[in-house]
Amino acid sequence: MRLLQIHEYLDLFPPDGASTAGISPAVVQTCLRAVETVWARTGLGCWDHVDRGVYYTSATADGRYLLAHIDADHSNCFVIVAYNLRSQLPESYIVFDIGAEYADPVLVCPGADYEGPATDELIETWVPRLASHSEEPIIVLDRGHGTYLLAEQKPDGSYIIEHQLVTSKNRYVALAPVTAEAVIEAFKSYAFKVKEWTRAFRWVRVEVP
* Host H or E run for residue 186: helix 180-191
Q: Which residue has the higher pLDDT, 20 or 104?
A: 104
Q: What is the pLDDT of residue 97?
A: 97
Q: pLDDT category, 208, cuts 50, 70, 90? A: confident
Radius of gyration of the chain (CA): 18
pLDDT of residue 149: 99
- pTM greater than 0.75 (yes/no): yes
Split at pLDDT 50, 70, 90, the class of 19 is confident
What integer pLDDT is reported at residue 128 of this predicted model?
96
| 67, 122, 159, 177 from 182: Cα distances, Å | 32, 15, 9, 10
